[in-house]
């Protein structure tokens, strides 16, 4: 998740960045900007990130002045010491509105809201739709893998599951080999056929063929034994459990 922070108070920006890394360890703070002018220049020269944290009161004006100058085409979370701008933030289509000092629980709730919304939109986007030429949307069939000086192709049919580990994304093949992936799990989730692959939690995206055994777990969750095996069997998160069961039944 690439994130931009727009905040004119350095201690507040540093604290927010620290909390973000605690809540989203794989987050990449690509820029910390202190003014409308700096933010406008940055957005005109760079691709939009996955998320922007935007302080309302900046040294050279209001965050809403920035939004009049640049159409920021990505999710926004406003941060401010005042609650009187909530309606304006809502009109600006923000994901959330967090009062300063930012609390970790509020940040966690905002990030979860973003993930829930992304999942809903991805789920709708992943449904095959007719194109103008009457062909269905095609999902990835194979990936090009680079490791060291070597390059190989990895067929999707060879992939049992993909997972994140130590800030890297890896694919485990049916024969037990592990390959580094250029894409993160969010990107892979959109590239792979949702009838065959399911994101059970933040760390694992599994194929139907990878399921060796399943057991019920606490709070309606499901623990899965994968093949090839992993050190610790992953658990389907509680927010995904109901949809996971629909996926197993072929209802998705």
CB 161 within 8 A of CB 172: yes
Residue range 188-228, pLDDT digits in tens: 988 899 999 999 999 999 999 999 999 988 777 899 999 99
Q: Across residues 129-155, what is the average pLDDT?
A: 71
User: Which of 92, 79, 104, 65 shows the shortest CA–CA distance to 4?
Assistant: 79
Domain boundaries, the chain: 2-117, 142-248
pLDDT of residue 125: 47
Query: What pTM value is reported for the model?
Result: 0.49
The percentage of residues in the chain with a pLDDT greater than 70, rounded to a whole number, is 87
Yes or no: domain 142-248 corresponds to CATH 2.40.50.1020? yes
| Predicted confidence band of residue 84 (pLDDT cuts 50, 70, 90) | low
Say if residue 236's pLDDT is above 80.
yes
List the CATH code of the domain at 2-117: 3.40.50.2300
Q: Which helix (H) or strand (E) holds 32?
A: strand 28-33
pLDDT of residue 113: 85
Tell me how crowded residue 217 is: count the other CB atoms within 10 A of its CB: 15
């Amino acid at each position: 998740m690439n994130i931009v922070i727009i905040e004119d108070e350095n201690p507040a920006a540093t604290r927010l960045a620290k909390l973000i890394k605690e809540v989203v360890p794989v987050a990449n703070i690509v820029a910390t900007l202190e003014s409308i002018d700096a933010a406008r220049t940055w957005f005109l020269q760079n691709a939009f990130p996955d998320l922007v944290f935007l302080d309302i009161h900046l040294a050279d004006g209001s965050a809403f002045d920035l939004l009049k100058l640049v159409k920021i085409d990505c999710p926004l979370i406003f941060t401010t010491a005042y609650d009187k701008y909530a309606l304006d933030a809502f009109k600006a289509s923000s994901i959330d509105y967090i009062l300063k000092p930012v609390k970790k629980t509020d940040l966690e709730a905002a990030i979860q809201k973003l993930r829930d919304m992304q999942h809903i939109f991805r789920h709708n986007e992943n449904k095959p739709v007719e194109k103008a030429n009457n062909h269905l949307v095609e999902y990835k069939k194979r990936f090009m893998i680079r490791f060291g000086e070597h390059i190989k192709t990895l067929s999707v049919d060879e992939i049992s599951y993909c997972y994140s580990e130590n800030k890297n994304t890896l694919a485990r093949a049916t024969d037990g080999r592990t390959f580094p992936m250029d894409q993160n799990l969010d990107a892979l989730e959109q590239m792979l056929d949702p009838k065959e692959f399911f994101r059970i939690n933040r760390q694992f995206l599994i194929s139907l063929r990878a399921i060796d055994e399943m057991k019920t777990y606490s709070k309606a969750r499901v623990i899965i034994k994968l093949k090839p095996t992993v050190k610790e069997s992953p658990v389907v998160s509680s927010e995904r459990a109901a949809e996971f069961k629909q996926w197993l039944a072929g209802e998705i």
